[in-house]
Amino acid sequence: MLESIGSLTGSPWIYAVVALSVLLDVFLPVLPSGVLVVTAATAAAAGSTTVAGAADKVAQVAQVSEVAQVPQEVPSLLILMLCAAGASVLGDLVAFRLAWRGGARLNRAIARSRRLTTAQERLGAALSAGGGALVVVARFAPAGRSVVSLGAGAAHRKVKEFLPWSALAGVAWTGYSVGLGYFGGQWLGASWFGTALSVLALFAAGTLAAYVVRRPAAAPAPAPAA
């Protein structure tokens, strides 16, 4: 699979594959959307380094033939980030609207899941209080995005309460994933070792986020006695 991803990063189709994977992993969390984003960013970093090195060599020895060895097809970080962040928000909204219209059957399914019920209660309290940091943190946790988006929709939260935090979550997750791949590629080169370290850092953030999401909310402080 890693070899297939590596060959895909040299094709313009990488943007469509990343967008589709990020869009659908709200329903299928097993999709390797994070791995795709990190790998594409690593390829972009390695490509920019190669281009810079080849340009310096051409300037020193004045050999035009070296230009032909410079890879031209490397992912654009800007387009990659726009595709991933946009697909993240769109997927959240699709799941949100589907859960909104899910009716009694979806509500019964959520009621049978302690995890979904707890997440729905915490999310509702956070959004009602004017803060949705839980939405951002859950974006990094495995399946956290699904729980939050479906829970917000099933609870019939307002779109204006959910959408800004969903957008912030998508941008934060995309920026972190692209940053890992890009700086890992700059420092360690386009090696599978460097990519593996970047992916490991992504999973570490997911593990930490899952702990934060599952941690019971702090009980409110008792009111002082009269």
Distance between CA atoms of residues 189 and 191, nearest Å: 6
> In this predicted structure, what is the pLDDT of residue 125?
66
Distance between CA atoms of residues 51 and 166, nearest Å: 36
Tokens representing residue 138 in the block? 């859950």
Tokens representing residue 143 in the block? 């399946």
Q: pLDDT confidence of 192, banded at 50, 70, 90?
A: confident
Distance between CA atoms of residues 22 and 36, nearest Å: 9
Q: What is the mean pLDDT of residues 29-42?
A: 88
> In this predicted structure, what is the pLDDT of residue 141?
87
Distance between CA atoms of residues 206 and 173, nearest Å: 10
Asked if residues 27 and 145 have their Cβ atoms less than 8 Å apart, the reply is no
Provide the whole-model pTM.
0.77
